Amino acid sequence: MARTTTPPPLPKNVRRTPTGFIAKASIGRTQCRTKRFPADTPYKVMADWIGDTKTELRKARPDRAKGSLLDDLETHYLPIKKQIGMPTYDARERDLRVMIGMLGPTRRRDQIEPVHILGMLARLKAGGRPRATRTTKDGRTVKAGGRVVKELSDRTVDIYRNAIMSFFTVLGGKRGHNPVKDVERFDQSDEVAPPPNISIELFDRILDAMPDLGAIEPGQRRSEISLTKIRLKVIAFAGLPQKQIMTLQPDKIDWERGRVVIVGRGKGKRIKRRVVEVSTYGMAALRELVDAGACGQEFSVSSMWQSFTRAVAKVAPGSGLNPYSLRHLFGTVTLDASDDLDAVNRLMLHAPGSKATTRIYTAAANARANRRAVDAFDAAVEAGRAAAKAAQAASVGSGGCISKAKTAAKAQ
């Protein structure tokens, strides 16, 4: 009997075509080259081409930007991020402009050392920004409007650190000059912040506190339907983020099977296109969105936040809830009901095996499980004590009957 041998696997970044092979060599998200090879090309030749091409791309990458920090930001970094559709583009641009202003807009990247990055982040943590604060007579640091400057948390400072790290990495490559690598993160704790404490009942009360009419548009009549409330219900009951609601088209919704087709996301690990199951309540919210003609339309995220936080201030003041908290509501309720963390990650469009997400929801689930266990212990203690009291009362009662019988026998 002839022995069958399996062909060796294709090299990484090589795919087979009807006429041969296509090899791809890429550095980051912006530098990429492809080449076609005949069907009889040895695998080693294609693997060597990929390695040599990546070396050429790495050598060419640091030479793209040699101007000042501000020139590198505006000429090279921001156009790259805008081209790939970075979801947090505006926030990243704002943060980098602040940090470059503190480091010195006219300085070159190769002049920045770790001590400069550390000093800049320390000033940000203390709340100080260029020409944005002043010291009062009593020693308080206040902003121009007189508001007291609060010290930033370590996690917030690490967001700034990640932004400036990305700036140096994109322009200089992974092996280029990057002083941020030698600056440790400010948040060294392993504690995970639990998801916001919000329930379905609280969400319903927040919706009731919001206006039922739509926003007032210039030159138009006020709508009798609040699109903001509908979109909030889609977030809470379907778990879709705001950007996906803007891009979701009606033809991507499978009403019979209760599914939606989600386009790829450029955030984090760049989630690919996928089909996601949607709950009955989520499909009902999507039906409202389609009937209102607002499916796939852009909307103001800031207006949604303002409307939602105003209602939160009436119903749950001081809770710090915002529209993104509804995503956590969907995740926690689904995890409590199913006890399947992998399914929750898929439904919330998180990257497969996302450790940070797993830690957040596992910690929350463990805390709730621990609370249920403690409550069960309390109930067991109360039940044991109640049983002991009942047994003691029964023994006392039976003992009294026996003593009365003995007394009556002696009297006879």
Q: What is the per-residue pLDDT across 109-160, written as a single tens digit (0 to 9) for each? A: 888 999 999 999 998 888 755 444 555 556 655 554 444 456 788 888 988 9
Task: Show the 3-state SS of 140-151.
Answer: CEEECCCCECCC
pLDDT: which is higher, 287 or 364:
287
Instruction: Tell me how many domains the chain contains.
Output: 3
Is there a single domain that holds both residue 213 and residue 307? yes
Is there a single domain that holds both residue 215 and residue 353? yes
Number of neighbouring beta carbons within 10 Å of residue 336: 13
pLDDT of residue 63: 44
For residue 34, the SS3 value is strand
Q: Which two tokens stand for residue 21?
A: 């092979």
For every residue of 215-258, DSSP letters joined together read ---TTSPPPSS-HHHHHHHHHHHH---HHHHHH--GGGEETTTT
pLDDT of residue 165: 92
Between 19-23, 28-32, 339-343, 390-394, the lowest mean confidence (pLDDT) is in: 28-32
Q: Which two tokens stand for residue 267?
A: 């955030």
* Whether pLDDT at 214 is above 70: no
> Mind listing the pLDDT tens digit for each residue in 150-194?
678 888 898 899 999 989 988 887 778 889 999 998 887 766 566
Is there a single domain that holds both residue 204 and residue 350? yes
* Whether pLDDT at 407 is above 60: no
Domain assignment present for residue 80? The answer is no
Domain assignment present for residue 234? The answer is yes
For residue 178, the SS3 value is coil
Is there a single domain that holds both residue 128 and residue 215? no
pLDDT of residue 254: 92
Scanning 73-113, the segments in alpha helix (DSSP H) are 78-83, 89-103
Is there a single domain that holds both residue 300 and residue 152? no
Distance from the Cα of residue 278 to its chain's centroid = 19
Q: Which of 183, 70, 81, 195 lies closest to 124 in space, CA to CA?
A: 183
Is there a single domain that holds both residue 251 and residue 169? no
Compute CA distances 278 → 281, 293, 354, 364, whole Å. 8, 20, 21, 23
* Whether pLDDT at 40 is above 50: yes
Domain assignment present for residue 220? The answer is yes
Q: Which of 248, 295, 235 lies closest to 274 in space, CA to CA?
A: 248
Domain assignment present for residue 377? The answer is no
Domain at 361, CATH number: 1.10.443.10
pLDDT of residue 337: 83
Is there a single domain that holds both residue 146 and residue 210? no
d(CA 167, CA 76): 10
Domain assignment present for residue 271? The answer is yes
* Whether pLDDT at 1 is above 50: no
- In the structure, what pLDDT confidence band is assigned to residue 203 with cuts at 50, 70 and 90? very high
pTM of the full structure? 0.56
Range of the domain at 23: 15-64
Domain assignment present for residue 370? The answer is no
Domain assignment present for residue 42? The answer is yes
Is there a single domain that holds both residue 252 and residue 109? no
Is there a single domain that holds both residue 35 and residue 142? no
Is there a single domain that holds both residue 145 and residue 107? yes
Distance from the Cα of residue 291 to its chain's centroid = 29
Is there a single domain that holds both residue 173 and residue 207? no
Is there a single domain that holds both residue 332 and residue 213? yes
d(CA 147, CA 103): 25
